[in-house]
Chains A and B, each alone.
Chain A
Amino acid sequence: RGLAAGPEMHFGFQTVTEEERREKIYQVFENVAKKYDVMNDSMTLGIHRVWKDILVHKMNPCPGTLLLDVAGGTGDIAFRFINYVRSVRQRQLQRKLKHHQNLSWQEIFESYQNDKFNNSLGDSQVVVCDINREMLKVGKQKAQHLGYSEGLSWVLGNAEELPFDDDKFDVYTIAFGIRNVTRIDLALQEAYRVLKPGGRFLCLEFSHVSNPLLSRLYDLYSFQVIPVLGEVIAGDWRSYQYLVESIRQFPPQEELKAMIEDAGFFRVDYENLNFGIVAIHSGFKL
């Protein structure tokens, strides 16, 4: 065989083989896992929280939804999902109570019993799947620390080959993860496979800024500030250099939309946040 063990791919601005890319990315996240959240906050000045909030609002899940959060390592989307569903459930229960104004004590007692049975999430569940053990570890610790226990599970898995059956999930999300997947087309196909008919695919990812002035400022910030922050805060300049480069290498909005359509999704469209710094792509399995 030749020198290359596989097709040429990009790792940031370097050219590597597929295998090498997977390894390198694994190492990147192994290194940054503990400081992942801190770095997110400092790099995006906390705005990443708003982006993730918007993603969950767009999802507008109702109780009983089964969510698969891929590359969800530290659990940001999962926790937001749980909070959202919990508050929707509260409102539902309040409405039910308003309806039944004249309840006997027996009925009230029974209704409390039922609620304990159907947990406060109304049977919603989120499965967090990540390829990186370190990221999952950090996520589990966070969950424990913040008090999330119900409706949450952690699975080690590869987005290109998900360890789940067909037609299982209502929603599939991948937030800031698809950029790191080596074969995006495979990940999209897997997403299609594990979604139920009618299920929704949501992808939150850095994308391309079309405004030229903003684009210049953004580039400046990305290449000058972020790796420095990486060195100072996480002691790892290289990983953050990779991060910034990978954003540039990632396909722009329209291209990603076409790829999602190729995987079989319908009603694919995207919403730019902050002028295209970040975009949310959405598609349905119909």
Chain B
Amino acid sequence: VRCQQYPPLRALQASAVLSGASDEHKKDSWASSSQQHFESPPAGHQPEEKSQGPHPSYTGQGGQESEDYESEEQLQHRILTAALEFVPEHGWTAEAIAEGAKTLGLSVAAAGLFHSDGSELILHFVSECNSKLSELLKKEQKLVQLGEAEKKPIDEFLRDAVETRLRMLIPYIEKWPQALSVLLLPRNIPSSLSLLTSMIDDIWHYAGDQSTDFNWYTRRAVLTAIYNTTELVMMQDSSPGFEDTWRFLENRVADAMTMSNTATQVQSTGEAVVQGLMGAAVTVSN
């Protein structure tokens, strides 16, 4: 699926404007129908480059300028999105990024902007999947609020959320083990861990108030364990439509539910036992 909302020409436009400062610019031939600004840069392009600050981007600020002006970060974002298409063939590598850059009209050397092990590409993909999941969960929640859908019981909700998220891996499943190992590199662990925890938190957030049985940390740990183990099972799964994986998921979620019930049971049994002992102690003392 190509994320090309903007034709390749835009990349050239963007780069033309980014570099539009210099007067000796011979890029007049690229002056397309839309806006082309050769404004003098505020003290060179440094502010834009270093602070990555104001992103007067596609949100329509400042009229004409906004559509052409693109920060380096956004350009990187676009290159990585375009590169995803080539991952099934080339893996999570600089080659995939190079191909992606080519589709945007940039030189293949632009892959040099990123690490050669593909870390940024993988992290980008994970964060995109997480955003997609959030969107879907939000939509679902809205439907429930509007009364157009039934509120799911907690175990079904968790199961569906994890399944939806894992299904996003299917087009890339062959190369996903490679991605997992890259995510475990010490350099990447902070980012990959934070992406994982924020996704888990997101799911719990949309799960609603039903989650009062667990306390906050156990909730996180339980769902993280379910997600990670299911992901690993999925890597090995060769059943049609990954039905083995979904069955595994169902069992793990069920386990988690019984565990929470057992936990409360244990707690209340514990309390009962303590009370019994107290009573016995009082009786004995009297």
With A166-B26, A286-B18 as known contacts, state yes or no: A200 contacts B112, CB within 8 Å. Answer: yes
With A189-B24, A286-B18 as known contacts, state yes or no: A170 contacts B108, CB within 8 Å. Answer: yes
Q: Tell me which of B75, B105, B108, B116 contacts A65 (CB under 8 A).
A: B108
Q: How far is the CB of A61 from chain B (nearest CB, A)?
A: 8
Q: Tell me which of A261, A262, A264, A284 contacts B112 (CB under 8 A).
A: A284
With A62-B94, A261-B46 as known contacts, state yes or no: A170 contacts B21, CB within 8 Å. Answer: no
Interface size class of B (residues with CB under 8 A): 20 to 34
Cβ contact within 8 Å between B108 and A62: yes
Q: Does B113 contact A (CB under 8 A)?
A: yes
Q: Does B45 contact A (CB under 8 A)?
A: yes
Q: Tell me which of B12, B46, B111 contacts A62 (CB under 8 A).
A: B111
Q: Does A32 contact B (CB under 8 A)?
A: no
With A197-B12, A197-B15, A266-B45 as known contacts, state yes or no: A284 contacts B95, CB within 8 Å. Answer: no
Cβ contact within 8 Å between A197 and B94: no
With A166-B26, A189-B24, A286-B75 as known contacts, state yes or no: A199 contacts B11, CB within 8 Å. Answer: no
* A-side contacts of B15, CB under 8 Å: 197-198, 285-286
* B-side contacts of A155, CB under 8 Å: none
Cβ contact within 8 Å between B108 and A60: no
With A189-B24, A193-B26, A286-B75 as known contacts, state yes or no: A199 contacts B19, CB within 8 Å. Answer: no
* 28 pairs from A and B in contact (CB 8 Å cutoff): A59-B112, A60-B94, A60-B116, A62-B94, A62-B95, A62-B111, A64-B108, A65-B109, A170-B109, A171-B109, A189-B24, A195-B107, A196-B107, A197-B12, A197-B15, A197-B105, A198-B105, A198-B107, A200-B107, A200-B109, A200-B110, A264-B19, A264-B22, A264-B45, A266-B18, A266-B49, A267-B49, A284-B110
* B-side contacts of A59, CB under 8 Å: 109, 112
In whole angstroms, how far apart are the Cα atoms of A285 and B95 in the complex? 19
In whole angstroms, how far apart are the Cα atoms of A195 and B107 in the complex? 9
In whole angstroms, how far apart are the Cα atoms of A181 and B112 in the complex? 26
Q: Does A241 contact B (CB under 8 A)?
A: no
Q: Tell me which of A60, A61, A197 contacts B106 (CB under 8 A).
A: A197
With A196-B107, A197-B106, A267-B72 as known contacts, state yes or no: A262 contacts B44, CB within 8 Å. Answer: yes
Interface positions, chain A 160-191, Cβ under 8 Å from B, are 166, 169-171, 189
List residues of B whose CB falls within 8 A of some A CB. Answer: 11-12, 15-16, 18-19, 21-22, 24, 26, 44-46, 49, 72, 75, 94-95, 98, 101, 104-113, 116
* A-side contacts of B22, CB under 8 Å: 264
Question: Which 3 A-B residue pairings sit nearest by Cβ, starting from the closest?
Answer: A198-B106, A198-B110, A196-B107
Interface positions, chain A 233-273, Cβ under 8 Å from B, are 261-262, 264, 266-267
Most B Cβ at <10 Å: residue of A58, A65, A196, A197? A197
Q: How far is the CB of B206 from chain A (nearest CB, A)?
A: 38
* A-side contacts of B111, CB under 8 Å: 60, 62
* A-side contacts of B106, CB under 8 Å: 196-198
